[in-house]
Structure 1
């Protein structure tokens, strides 16, 4: 009973903004060769909102002193592929693995002061990437190697690690 007076209450966490900001040169090259356009970004944004299903900051009337806001941004989203460019007898292999990089910020709502920032990056292992390249699908190219479902797995792994880091920081 005595120790209850000295323990601090866990703060309430509210969702600020969620975004997919993917402006790397690699993603521009990838979107140039892609038929689907921004559908991967839209799909991943939707899944990110499903994962972080917290109450929005806009719904709070009067924030408490201990209330915390959370912003989550995907700064890198690459689907992964491999091909080669041939210059006569010389070929140049070009490849990149699927990757998702999340950046988040926890901040005090009353003071709008950043408490801590986090960054998590997840990509497919080299072994898995090479195995997928030499599969039947990779050899005959029946569409993209990594579908939305494959990218969701990376997203879930990155979000799990991000939430675990934030949980330990609060």
Structure 2
């Protein structure tokens, strides 16, 4: 029997944000002829599903060990494959899908930061090459540009992997 058992702190959700893309690659990644993929909303919806905690703004009398969690997708890229030609010389340009998630765990009462974490999750090279050069993807998405090569489902998968790693780190820091 333990005389001094430590109570685990309660964790509440502070903010969930997806920083919108502003660089040139945003336009290169969304140039499918049929439809453009809007990833900001999809990533935000996935974050809300992953971190289903009670909101921190509803805590009226926080205890000294109560914690708040802010989660931000600071950057993401959906990946693409281009063939650039300069006269008779051509070379491939490509980038893999990637998502970076940052979180801050803070004390609700004082708003002081307890710890921060940053996780970057990239698509594995073998999956990237298999997707780009599979016949269905290559003809429909790479040659004819009817759809983007990587879509919201691919990005959500990377987001889930990144958040899973982040939740392990958060659990270890709270325990």
**Given the two structures, how large is their TM-score scaled by the length of structure 1?**
0.90
User: Aligned residue pairs: how many?
Assistant: 167
Residue 36 (structure 1) aligns with: 36
Residues 1:149 and 2:153 are matched in the alignment: yes
Does the CA-based 8 Å contact 1:26-1:78 persist in structure 2? no
CA deviations on 1:10-53 (whole Å, 9 max, x unpaired) are 1000000000014463643445535425x211111011111101
Q: Decide which of 9, 16, 24 is 2:14's aligned counterpart.
A: 16
3-state SS of paired residue (2:76): strand
3-state SS of paired residue (2:129): helix
Partner Cα distance (1:21, 1:27) in 2:
15
**Given the two structures, how large is their TM-score scaled by the length of structure 2?**
0.88
Q: Which moved more, 1:147-156 or 1:54-63?
A: 147-156
Residue 23 (structure 2) aligns with: 25
Query: RMSD of the TM alignment (CA)?
Result: 1.7
Higher relative contact order (CA 8 A, sep 6+): 2
Partner Cα distance (1:30, 1:162) in 2:
30
Residues 1:83 and 2:87 are matched in the alignment: no
Could you list the runs of 4 or more consecutive aligned residues of structure 1 that deviate by over 6 angstroms after TM superposition? none
